[in-house]
Structure 1
C-alpha cells in the first residue's frame, strides 16, 4: 500500500487544487479537520476508510482512485463498492493473521529456548522452574490467542456495520 499512499497524497492534493480549494475550505466542506488534510497530503498519516469515502464522494471519484488502486476516477457502482469494502476487510484480516503468525513463531522460539538449556545435572528445583516457565508461557499464549480472536471478531463486526451502512445508503 506504500505506493498507494504516494498516489493518494498526490491525488487528494491535485483534486483539491483542481477544485480551487484551500485546505481550509475543503475541511469546512467535508468536515475533515484541516490538520488531518495537511497530514494526508504530506504523507504523514493514512486516512481511515470513512474519510476516504467522504473525500471520494466530495470529489466524485472512486476510493480506489484516491488510494492509487485504479486510474478510473468514476465512483464505484454498488457492487464494486461492496467489493472494495470486502477487500479492505480481507487486507485487515490478513494483517491480523500475519501478526498472529509472527507471535506464534516467537512463542515457539521461547519454548525451545526454555527446553534446550536442559542439563542432565539439573536438580529438581531447576526442572520445576523450567516447567513453571513453560506453563506461564502457555497461559500467556492462551490469553493472547483470545485477544487475537477478539480483534478478529471486532474486525468482522466492523465489516458488517460498514456493509449495513452502505446498504442503507443504496437502498439494497
Structure 2
C-alpha cells in the first residue's frame, strides 16, 4: 500500500489542492491512493519530490524517508520487480485453486453405476487438465524468467548511466 494519502493528510491537503500543486487530476490522485491505478515512475518521482521523500518510501516498499537520491530509482526498479513477481504468484495461486476445483468437479460426480466408458472419459478429462496445467506452469515459469531478465537489464542500464 502506498503512502500517498497519509502524506497528503499530514500536509493538510485535499485531493483537489494536491492536484493543483502537482498538476494532476484529483480523481487520478484518488485512484493512486486507493491502489486502483498505478502511476508511472515519473509521476512517483514528482509526488516524492513534492513530499520530500524517497520514491521507495512513497510506494510503501521502504521505511527510508530520505528524499529522492541516486539509489531511489534502483530501489523503485527493484520494488516494481517485486510487485510484478508477487502479481504473477497471486495469479498462479488463483489458477491452481481453479484447477483444483475443476479436478474435484470431474471426480466428485462418481456414480456406482458408471460404466467403463464413463470412467475412462472422466480419467481422460483429468489427464487433459493435468497436461494443460503442466503447459500453464511452464508459461508461468517463462513469464517469471522474462521478468527477471527484464529487471536485470533495467538495473544494468541504470548502473551504466550512473556509474554505480
TM-score, scaled to structure 2? 0.67
Aligned to 1:72: 65
Q: Whole-Å Cα distance in 2 between the matches of residues 153 and 121 of structure 1? A: 48
Find out whether 1:45 has 2:36 as its counterpart: yes
What are the residue-to-residue correspondences of 1:143-158 with 2, within 5 Å?
143-158=135-150
Aligned to 2:121: 129
CA RMSD, Structure 1 to Structure 2 (Å): 3.5
Q: Whole-Å Cα distance in 2 between the matches of residues 39 and 90 of structure 1? A: 21
In the alignment, is the contact (CA less than 8 A) between 1:12 and 1:66 conserved in 2?
A: no
Which portions of structure 1, spanning 4 or more consecutive aligned residues, are displaced by more than 6 angstroms? none
Identify if the C-alpha distance between structure 1 residues 45 and 162 changes in structure 2 by more than 3 Å, giving closer, same or farther.
Answer: farther
Q: Whole-Å Cα distance in 1 between the matches of residues 46 and 151 of structure 2? A: 17
What are the residue-to-residue correspondences of 1:81-160 with 2, within 5 Å?
82-160=74-152
Unaligned runs of 5+ in 1: 28-32
Instruction: Work out the number of aligned pairs and report it.
Output: 158
Aligned to 1:30: none
Find out whether 1:170 has 2:143 as its counterpart: no
Identify if the C-alpha distance between structure 1 residues 12 and 155 changes in structure 2 by more than 3 Å, giving closer, same or farther.
Answer: farther
In the alignment, is the contact (CA less than 8 A) between 2:103 and 2:126 conserved in 1?
A: yes
Unaligned runs of 5+ in 2: none
Deviation by residue 1:72-95 (Cα, 9 ceiling, x = unmatched): 2422453x6534533442343234
